[in-house]
Amino acid sequence: MKPQVLILCTGNSCRSHLAEGILRAAAGDLIDVHSAGSKPAGFVHPKAIQVLQEIGIDISGHHSKSMNEFLAQRIDTVVTVCGNADQACPMFPGQVHRYHWGFDDPAHATGTDEEVLAVFRRVRDQIRLVFEAYAAGLRAGKEL
């Protein structure tokens, strides 16, 4: 059975889905990746879907989920990507590792459509750097 990684954010509409898509693309053969929110927004932000499609990752089938859906599951690693989720994150049964890697929330971006997309792309690229490095560590046999 593959190790289970859960990526948490508050709304589970942007950052956690960006991270889930990127980590699944980079290490999905080694781990099972999920995302959820402490207060799910009920949707995946269309611009999150768009900016991942730009790099060849399809999350159009994702949906916003509550972290409570995972409480009864074995979760090996929890990664929070926003401060609110880090504070709200419960201990999961069997949880071995917990990381907090915070990123700006692109859903709060304002301006023209291009300016908002630029923020989504910047956050996507930051998340990509961190989660692809994490996947490289997994491939090198480092801890989850």
Whether 59 is covered by a domain: the verdict is yes
pLDDT of residue 96: 77
Residue type, 110: T
Number of domains present in the structure of the chain: 1
In terms of pLDDT, which residue wins out, 84 or 4? Answer: 4
DSSP assignment of 65-125 equals -BGGGGTTS--SEEEE-SHHHHHHPPPPTT--EEEE-----GGG--SSHHHHHHHHHHHHH
38 within domain boundaries = yes
- Taking the C-alpha atoms of residue 76 and residue 94, their distance in angstroms, rounded to an integer, is 6
pLDDT above 90 for 135 = yes
Rounded to an integer, the average pLDDT of 4-19 is 94
CB 75 within 8 A of CB 36: no
Annotation marks residue 9 as catalytic: yes
Q: How far does the chain reach from its first CA to its final CA, in angstroms?
A: 14
CATH no. for residue 81? 3.40.50.2300
Range of the domain at 19: 4-139
In a domain, 135, yes or no: yes
The pTM score is 0.92
Residue in 27, 36, 89, 127 annotated catalytic: 89
89 in catalytic set: yes
Active-site entry in 82, 119, 127, 138:
82
pLDDT tens across 16-70, in order? 999 999 999 999 999 999 999 989 999 999 999 999 999 999 999 999 999 999 9
What is the band of 91 on the pLDDT scale with cuts at 50, 70, 90?
low
Q: Would residue 14 show up in a list of annotated catalytic residues for this protein?
A: no
For residue 9, pLDDT beyond 70: yes
The answer as to whether 97 is a domain residue is yes
Domain assignment of residue 132, yes or no? yes
Flag whether 53 is in a domain.
Answer: yes
Q: Per the domain annotation, does 44 fall within a domain?
A: yes
pLDDT for residue 73: 87
Residue 144 lies in a domain: no
Which of 5, 7, 8, 9 is labelled catalytic? 9
The C-alpha atoms of residue 67 and residue 5 are separated, in whole angstroms, by 12
